[in-house]
Amino acid sequence: MEKNPDFIFVCSQAQQIEWVKTYYPGLYATIQEFEKKGRFVPVGGTWVEMDGNLPSGESMVRQFLQGQRFFQQEFGKLCLEFWLPDTFGYSAQLPQIMRGCGIRRFLTQKLSWNLVNTFPHNTFFWEGLDGSRVLVHFPPADSYGLSGRVDEMLRTVKNNKDKGRVNHSVALFGFGDGGGGPTQKMLDRLQRMKDTDGLPRVQMSVPEQFFSALEKEKAQLCTWVGELFLELHNGTYTTHGQIKKGNRECERLLHDIEILSSLALVQKRSFQYPSAQLQHLWRLLLLNQFHDVLPGSCIQLVAEDAMRYYSEIRSSGAQLLKEATHSLCGEPLASQDKSSDTILVVNTLPWERTEVVSKTGPRGPETLALVTVPSLGFCAVPESFPPPHPVTISKEADGSVTLANGIIQACLDPLGRMVSLSLLHPKRYFFIP
């Protein structure tokens, strides 16, 4: 960058910059200097370039929250564009989330990999589930790793499906898939193409300048409504099930910690809300939602790291959950007889729930109870809770079995097939063919 004063480096993913800050403080100081000059440009607004379908809506919001917060703290500015060149499809909820996080522009290119249907636009508006719209650009060269060759620039113009509607497009060059940036040869090629007859005019730019130019030409742009579906890599949504399971379990765990910690703080001002610990755990989870980790398209070493991060989230999260629950429910627990096996059932969802809960205690086998718990509340389940309708099981000499619970009765033949089902009160029979 010192040798090429016109060169501008765009960098997404706050996590990458945070690693540089932690492990290479000297390099980070240089990055900050170039950022002030407008030549190092943080983009994307997210913690990592995450998968576009598997994370929950809350996790997608947290990607922007953590990313935008980091860029605001470190560089004093927020990103206006979402930068996600490489992922395996895009949820229809993303435009709404983007707009809610201060993002109104989006750059990607992955749909150029479609197996069957060619996506009809390079520059268009994308409308989400609630009607929110963002301006989208797909680089017409269908790549984020160009080398600055003449044929690539010509392909950029030829492939632009929105010629006549807009007069600008992006060419992303450098070793983008590995984060290595461009070589001097690439920069020299592009310098020669600044104003050459027969070639498109090439200039170094920043996302803000480019999207501002598009917004001036937006009058004739088309609108795509709903999901942006990638017709490729479909196996990424079924492979490495343990990584996907870990993601969802940890999402639920962090949700419950935040709910109970907030309630504990409202109830008792002396409670220490675990802000720093939660941010650390959220950032680990968001890192695992990178678009090659959560989908399972990563190498073994990465998968092992991901499982280790999940273990840390579960272990630390369980302790935080215990502390919040004890602070919130300590008095009800203390009021119970110490010798009893009464338990508290907590509902962390914003609606009343009626569920069957199981309880195994030192005094007997597992027992079940039907419990109704208010929204964001808890209730005590006594030591002994006989079911309102006792369950009976009777086995006949021929091996058939009859099951009854006071409401319905089912008969199974010796092979376990249901042969009849009856409602006991009033008596009504249903026969299974």
Domain edge (last residue) among 232, 256, 278: 232
What is the helix, strand, coil percentage profile of the chain, to 5?
Answer: 40, 20, 40
Is the same domain home to 70 and 174? yes
Is the same domain home to 226 and 242? no
Domain edge (last residue) among 203, 232, 261: 232
Is the same domain home to 51 and 101? yes
Q: Tell me the pairing of strands 105-107 and 123-127.
A: unpaired
Is the same domain home to 251 and 121? no
| Count of domains observed in the chain | 4
Is the same domain home to 138 and 187? yes
Tokens encoding 372 = 């109704």
Tokens 């003449």 label which residue?
150
The pLDDT value given to residue 379: 87
Query: What digits encode the pLDDT tens for the residues 184-229?
Result: 999 999 999 999 999 999 999 999 999 999 999 999 999 999 999 9
Closest CA to 404 of 381, 370, 384, 427: 427
The pLDDT value given to residue 107: 98
The pLDDT value given to residue 391: 79
Is the same domain home to 86 and 52? yes
Domain that holds residue 83: 9-232
Separation between Cα atoms, residue 347 and residue 190, nearest integer Å: 60
Domain edge (last residue) among 232, 251, 273: 232
Asked if the structure places residue 339 within a domain, the reply is no
What b-and-e string marks burial along 4-41, b requiring 16 or more CB atoms within 10 Å of the CB? Answer: eeebbebbbbbbebbebbeeeeeebeebeebbeeebbb
Is the same domain home to 186 and 172? yes
Q: Tell me the pairing of strands 105-107 and 81-83.
A: parallel
The SS3 of residue 42 is strand
Beta bridge partners of 370: 356
What b-and-e string marks burial along 275-296, b requiring 16 or more CB atoms within 10 Å of the CB? Answer: eebbeebbbbbbbbbbbbbbbb
Is the same domain home to 206 and 219? yes
Tokens encoding 175 = 């070793």
Asked if the structure places residue 180 within a domain, the reply is yes
Is the same domain home to 317 and 417? no
The pLDDT value given to residue 131: 97
Q: Which amino acid is at 83?
A: W
The pLDDT value given to residue 381: 81
Separation between Cα atoms, residue 26 and residue 180, nearest integer Å: 18
Query: Active-site residue 86, yes or no?
Result: yes
**Cα angle at 286 between 285 and 292, to 5 degrees?**
105
For the chain, give the number of residues: 433
Asked if the structure places residue 387 within a domain, the reply is no
Is the same domain home to 160 and 300? no
| Average pLDDT of the chain to the nearest whole number | 92
Is the same domain home to 182 and 101? yes
The pLDDT value given to residue 389: 67
Among candidate residues 51, 86, 130, 398, the one labeled active-site is: 86
The pLDDT value given to residue 429: 80
CATH number at residue 305: 1.20.1270.50
Asked if the structure places residue 25 within a domain, the reply is yes
CATH number at residue 208: 3.20.110.10
Q: Element (H or E) spanning 373, and its range? A: strand 364-373
Report DSSP letters for 357-372, one per residue.
EEEEETTEEEEEEEEE
Query: Residue 46: is it exposed, middle or buried by C-beta count within 10 angstroms (0-12/13-18/19+)?
Result: buried
Asked if the structure places residue 102 within a domain, the reply is yes
- C-beta of residue 160 within 8 angstroms of C-beta of residue 149: no
Asked if the structure places residue 386 within a domain, the reply is no
Tokens encoding 216 = 């001036």
Asked if the structure places residue 129 within a domain, the reply is yes
Tokens 């050459």 label which residue?
196
What is the number of other CB atoms lying within 10 angstroms of the CB of residue 251? Answer: 19
Asked if the structure places residue 250 within a domain, the reply is yes
CA 219 to chain centroid, in Å, comes to: 33
Query: Residue 191: is it exposed, middle or buried by C-beta count within 10 angstroms (0-12/13-18/19+)?
Result: middle
Sign of CA pseudo-dihedral 95, 101, 105, 108:
negative
The SS3 of residue 295 is coil
The pLDDT value given to residue 31: 97
Q: Tell me the pairing of strands 408-412 and 418-423.
A: antiparallel
Positions of the chain with pLDDT lower than 50, given as ranges: none
Is the same domain home to 197 and 291? no
- C-beta of residue 171 within 8 angstroms of C-beta of residue 204: no
